[in-house]
Amino acid sequence: SDSIRERHWKQILRLLHVTSSFTELSLRHLWDAKLLTVHDASVKDIIRTAQGEMALDEFVRQVSEHWTTFALDLVNYQNRCRIIKGWDDMFAKLDEHLNSLQSMKQSPYYRVFAEQAESWEDRLTKVQSIFDYWIDVQRRWVYLEGIFFGSADIKQQLPKEYTRFQSVDNEFVSTMKRVSHKPLILDVAGIPNLYQSLERQQDMMGSIQRALGDYLERQRAAFPRFYFVGDEDLLEMIGNSKEPKQIQRHLSKMFAGIASFDMSDGANPNLITGLVS
């Protein structure tokens, strides 16, 4: 039977009191050991156990093969670093394998695979914890990177937050460059102090985002029509405050009767000469 492994052959040989290796086993050995008379039922029990273990054996092998060869899917971002994509597929496979490793414990054949299964459960739980943080950190970084590195005005108006973001940015980009060189997920999960680094970055960017929210609230309090636009639109307007052409697409959200500006054709192209309804 294909399900019989070396461990099962060793059980059979012990049962039959055969001292030869299973690779040297012949029909004569089995006949002399009275396999078909005295030991038939016991050998069949071993074979049934082997068949029951086969599915678990194959699953643990699949888990090992998948995660030891799994490389993170990376994509270039703004020519600064490569960031992770394909989150949904990765998390779906983690959930699938962790749930199956849990379910294995209910099998009467689990004991043989307990050490391997528990080892993989521990490793995949660690991977899942790390990347639960990572997806949030990356999302925050992409958002704040676009704000602070996309506008000189925002840097000037929020110098403290910009300085703090530079620190986070350096740490995040450095980590992503390291990941790019060795993208296998188990290698990445083994980076020293990675979890603590992601936790720190998340906390710092959360603080920066709260400060950014307070800043936008002050702008809306000073000019209530800003309440008619979302945070990203307002940030774009503030970041392009000296570029009326970039702002005018938001006019209709704040002023029902205004669609755009008329701009000067003279020496100052940013001079507004009229309003278009």
pLDDT in tens, 138-182: 999 999 998 898 877 788 888 999 999 999 999 999 999 999 999
Contact present, 16 and 35 (Cβ < 8 Å): yes
234: its two tokens: 């307002």
Say yes or no to pLDDT of 28 above 60: no
Greater pLDDT, 77 or 10? 77
Of 165, 120, 126, 119, the closest CA to residue 142 belongs to 165
Output the pLDDT for position 19: 60
In which band, very low, low, confident or very high, does the pLDDT at 30 lie, cut at 50, 70 and 90? low
Say yes or no to pLDDT of 4 above 90: no
Mean pLDDT (whole number) for 213-235? 89
- pTM value is 0.75
H helical segments located in 17-113: 27-32, 40-69, 87-104
In which band, very low, low, confident or very high, does the pLDDT at 112 lie, cut at 50, 70 and 90? confident
In which band, very low, low, confident or very high, does the pLDDT at 16 lie, cut at 50, 70 and 90? low
Output the pLDDT for position 14: 66
Output the pLDDT for position 248: 76
Greater pLDDT, 99 or 41? 99
Phi and psi (nearest 5°) for 260? -165, 180
In which band, very low, low, confident or very high, does the pLDDT at 110 lie, cut at 50, 70 and 90? confident
Output the pLDDT for position 99: 97
What is the torsion angle, in degrees rounded to the nearest 10, for the CA atoms of residue 144, residue 146, residue 150 and residue 152? -10
Of 103, 94, 166, 159, the closest CA to residue 130 belongs to 94
Say yes or no to pLDDT of 95 above 90: yes
What does the mean pLDDT of the chain come to? 84
